[in-house]
């Protein structure tokens, strides 16, 4: 049984990928610092920084998918910024070294990245060929992250950089669920002026896109993993309100979001700044999105069946 190794695989996306590939006959192997009790998949402890016994799992594997990285939702203090960066660079560097040392290296190395690498100016459509001239902290993190993955000479392993948009799912680890709870309480209005742009993708399309990429020999380099539909924050919140049956949502002024985020140790810029990308490579390759539009995607994930 071919193995798919998931670094940081106990998170929201890792669990979704593990379940998907297990159903297709692969053996998911989770690299984790803290094994979870009751996890049905094989877990191997690693430190996320150095090559160790865990590297044997890469020998002959079909793919290694690196999802490791500290949450960006916590407030970006100077100390936490360093943690965000190092928690991405160190695992990526360790995986690159381990793959380079394999006698039978994985066929694929898919490394997470983010659409924050683009500046997202008004009126621009950011596909994979767009210049990487984002200027904020997360743009710099994504650039260094991708550079770390590209620093190794790997003749037998294809590298793909998954520039991933906001992934919507049923898990409480997805941002959709807490926003839906706010909407049920009448607090699901737009954030700030509500005009900031948002790219998103249904978790089902995310896992199928990863699967699609790994079963086509032509893929290498960056891929925007996002729905083809970009929406404003106001439209996003309206879709959530509609899905939960709440006609009105109290708007959240920018100053209120900044104050609340400070008190809750959350990063306000994630709600107030645009982040958008167009998945040109997936579209041109003929990938069939199950949920290309926001309203059906949100309705599916917030249904009570």
- pLDDT by residue for the chain (305 residues), tens only, comes to 799 999 999 999 999 999 999 999 999 999 999 999 989 999 999 999 999 999 999 999 999 999 999 999 999 999 999 999 999 999 999 999 999 999 999 999 999 999 999 987 655 779 999 988 888 999 999 999 999 999 999 999 999 999 999 999 999 889 899 899 989 999 899 999 999 999 999 999 999 999 999 998 789 999 999 999 999 999 999 999 999 999 888 888 888 888 878 877 888 888 888 899 999 999 999 999 999 999 999 999 998 64
pLDDT at position 123, please?
59
Q: Which of 85, 54, 58 is nearest to 69 (CA)?
A: 85
What per-residue confidence (pLDDT) applies to 274? 87
| pLDDT at residue number 268 | 84
Asked whether the beta carbons of 147 and 273 are under 8 A apart, the reply is no
pLDDT of residue 248: 85
The closest of 200, 198, 199, 197 to 167, measured between CA atoms, is 200
DSSP per position, 108-173 = EEEEEEEGGGS---TT----TTS-----SHHHHHHHHHHHHHTTS--SS-EEEEEEE-EEE-SSTT
Q: Return phi, psi of residue 175, to 5°.
A: -65, -20
Alpha helix segments (H runs only) across the chain: 12-23, 78-101, 137-149, 176-184, 203-214, 233-244, 254-264, 269-272, 280-284, 294-301
pLDDT number for residue 122: 58
Backbone angles phi, psi at 26, to 5 degrees: -90, 165
Q: What is the CA radius of gyration of the chain?
A: 19
* Cα 115 to Cα 127: distance, rounded to the nearest angstrom: 10
Q: What is the dihedral of CA 26, 31, 37, 38, to 10 degrees?
A: -10
CA–CA separation, 13 and 206 (whole Å): 9
Ordered structural domains, the chain, with CATH: 3-165+202-226 (3.40.50.720)
pLDDT at 305: 46
């Amino acid at each position: 049984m071919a193995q798919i190794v998931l670094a940081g695989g106990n998170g929201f996306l890792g669990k979704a990928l593990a379940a998907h590939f297990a159903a297709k006959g692969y053996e998911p192997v989770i690299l984790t610092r803290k094994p979870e009790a009751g996890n049905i998949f094989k877990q191997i402890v690693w430190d996320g920084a150095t090559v160790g016994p865990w590297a044997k799992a890469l020998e002959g594997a079909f793919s290694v998918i690196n999802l490791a990285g500290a949450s960006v939702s916590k407030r970006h203090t100077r100390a936490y910024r360093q943690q965000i960066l190092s928690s991405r660079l160190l695992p990526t560097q360790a995986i690159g070294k381990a793959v380079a040392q394999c006698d039978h290296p994985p066929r694929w190395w898919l490394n997470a990245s983010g659409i924050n690498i683009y500046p997202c100016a008004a009126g621009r459509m950011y596909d994979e060929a767009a210049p990487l001239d984002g200027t904020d902290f997360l743009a710099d993190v994504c650039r260094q992250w991708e550079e770390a993955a590209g620093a190794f000479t790997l003749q037998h392993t294809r590298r793909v950089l998954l520039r991933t948009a906001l992934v919507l799912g049923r898990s409480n680890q997805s941002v959709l669920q807490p926003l839906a709870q706010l909407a049920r309480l009448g607090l699901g209005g737009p954030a700030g002026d509500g005009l900031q742009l948002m790219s998103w993708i249904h978790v089902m399309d995310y896992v199928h896109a990863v699967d699609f990429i790994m079963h086509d020999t032509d893929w290498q380099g960056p891929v925007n993993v996002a729905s083809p539909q970009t929406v404003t924050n106001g439209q996003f919140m309206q879709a959530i309100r509609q899905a939960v049956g709440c006609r009105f949502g109290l708007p959240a002024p920018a100053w209120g979001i900044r104050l609340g985020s400070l008190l809750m140790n959350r990063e306000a810029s994630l709600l107030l700044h645009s982040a958008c990308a167009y998945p040109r490579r997936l579209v041109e390759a003929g990938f069939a999105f199950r949920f290309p539009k926001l309203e059906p995607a949100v309705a599916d994930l917030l249904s009570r069946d």
